[in-house]
Structures are given as C-alpha cells and as structure tokens.
Amino acid sequence: MADLSQLLTLEEGDIILTGTPAGASVAKPGDVLEVEVSAGGLTTGRLVTRVEEGTTPFANFGAGPKVDDVQREEAWGSREAAGLPAPASTLTPGLKAKLESVATATLSSQMRKRGLNNVSIDGLQATRPDRRVVGLARTLRYVPNREDLFKTHGGGFNAQKKAIDSVNDGEILVMEARGEKGTGTVGDILALRAQVRGAAAIITDGGVRDYTAVAGLDMPTYFANPHPAVLGRRHIPWDTDITIACGGATVQPGDIIVADSDGILVVPPAIAEELVDDCIAQEQEEAFIFEMVKQGNSVDGLYPMNAEWQARYEEWKAGAAND
C-alpha cells in the first residue's frame, strides 16, 4: 500500500488486486486492461485502462520493481517469447559424441561404482533396437483416467499434444504411464510430429497405438507393448516438464538419456563428463582383455587384471598409441 500511494491517492473502500490472474501475460504500452469484480448479481462495473509508458520515476523507498530472467520467462510464457537466449545445453556435441561411443553396459558399471543402481528404465522394447540414442529428457505425466477430469484435461491441445509439439531437436520425450499396458500413450500422428520436430526418441512405459506405422518411422520409440485403445481408456495427460517415474526410474527434465540394445539409462548431467571418460578407459581395458582371451589366455588374473596383466596392458596401450 505504501508503494501504491506513491503514484495515486488511496481512499477507504478502494479495491486492491494482488497477484497475477491465470493466463495473464506482459502488459505493453497501448494495451487495454479491463477489470470487473462481480458477486451475487452485483458488479463494480468495468474499469478500462489503457497502458502508457510511465514518466514519473519511483522514489527510493518501498519495494521497488524487480525482475530477473526467470520472471521474464514466466511472464512471457517462454524464453523465446521473452527475447532471452536459449540456455546452454549440458549435452555439448563433444559430450554427446563420447556418450554415443560407449555401451550402456559400461555406463551402468561406472554408475554402480558411484552408488547409482536405480538408473535404468526397465521392461520396454524398441522399434529400432539397433540404434544407439543419446539426448536430453523432456517429460510428460499421465494420471489414471477419471471421467470428469478427462473432460477438462483430455481434449483439445492437452498436455500430451503440448509435449509432442514442444519437443526440440535432439531431445527425448519420456512418458510416465505407470506401466499401464491397457491403452496407447502415443500413436502414429503424434510420433510423426515428434520426428518432424527432431526428437531423438520417445520413451513410454505404456502402450503404443498404430504400432506398424510407429515402427516404420526413423525415430526410435521405446514402449511396453502395442495396444489398439485410445488414450482416454486408462489415462489423462496431466502435466509436462516435471520429475516423473518411467519404467522404475526417476527422470527429470534435462537428464541425459542413453539407450542401446542392452537398455535405457538415465545419466545425471552433473557427472556425465567424468563418467564417460571413465567408461572410455574401461572399454579400452576390456578391448585388451577380449583380445587376450581370444588368443587363448585364461580369465584367471586377467579379468579383472592383476598386477602382471596390468603391466602388460600398459605396454599394449603404449604400442597402440604409437601405431
């Protein structure tokens, strides 16, 4: 109230509106704002105000206006609309190339050494099992169908369609369907839309409709099973870009997803660089061990390597580097 009274006279009975109504955006000079309060058949009438650029500076007391990039993004609805640069990706081209070069089996082993045992998305099959996929997670959550809520959240441009229509180049859309196999969570049209937008993959622990068409796309889809039923049979698309559970693993927006024929892993971005460097070193060691076994050597003392084999490995590695 102290701040308001710097700019206008407040009188007893004046109504002060605080907070931001749902759906509000940024007011710009030239915009017209209309406010009306009604209750029990009574109304204040409609207050119409044209926004103009202010000329009176704020005094140096009270709570002055403050704004940061988070508030700008929230007000405009997106970083792009607010004129802000896209955030720097944690998945740089160099890191992505490294992750594409190592197997999920190696990544799993190295994460286990770091105490991370619950990082695999389990129980799914793939339309492209031969592919190795690396990308940043975007998330979508379904909740169990309740008919009244499906009417309000299931139709139109719902959370499912918003997620598909906002996935970016190289991202992976991960869906929480609670392992419910009795209906589809994505079909051919939406899967095609994701592919057109450049999605690296779709992962759902629920069913897939239009399986033949989805399987024919170049973009891999990981899913629990085919099912002909539409979404509304068991699910309501509820919200996006939140922490979810998929196939027994917790997935957060921005997590790094790595998938190959062995399975799907969720890699915390904070450890990805160190992790993949150790994976590369491990696979180099295993290439040496594989070659020694191929030559007829016993795995006793070789796998894992004792001091003698470790010394021979260092010699082998030096020779390979010189070649």
SS3 category, 316: helix
Q: Which CATH class is domain 118-267?
A: alpha beta
- Please tell me the predicted confidence (pLDDT) of residue 70: 75
SS3 category, 288: helix
- Please tell me the predicted confidence (pLDDT) of residue 73: 78
Look-up of token digits 């197997």: 103
Look-up of token digits 């605080």: 18
- Please tell me the predicted confidence (pLDDT) of residue 22: 59
- Please tell me the predicted confidence (pLDDT) of residue 27: 81
Taking the C-alpha atoms of residue 195 and residue 191, their distance in angstroms, rounded to an integer, is 6
Residues (pLDDT < 50) of the chain are: none
Tokens of 142: 């379904």
265-to-58, 192, 203 alpha-carbon distances in Å: 53, 24, 11
- Please tell me the predicted confidence (pLDDT) of residue 7: 82
Tokens of 93: 């081209």
- Please tell me the predicted confidence (pLDDT) of residue 85: 80
- Please tell me the predicted confidence (pLDDT) of residue 77: 73
Query: Whats the size of the chain, residue-wise?
Result: 323
Single pTM value for the model: 0.74
Pairing state between β 120-121 and 263-267: antiparallel
List, as one string, the DSSP characters of 1-48.
-TTGGGTS---TT-----S--TT-----TT-EEEE--EETTEE---EE
Domain parsing of the chain, residue ranges: 1-87, 118-267, 274-322
Taking the C-alpha atoms of residue 260 and residue 105, their distance in angstroms, rounded to an integer, is 9
219-233 in b/e form (b: 16+ CB < 10 A) is: bbbbbbebbeeebee
- Please tell me the predicted confidence (pLDDT) of residue 87: 66
Calculate what percentage of the chain has a pLDDT beyond 90. Answer: 71
First-to-last CA distance in the chain? Answer: 77
- Please tell me the predicted confidence (pLDDT) of residue 169: 94
Taking the C-alpha atoms of residue 14 and residue 163, their distance in angstroms, rounded to an integer, is 43
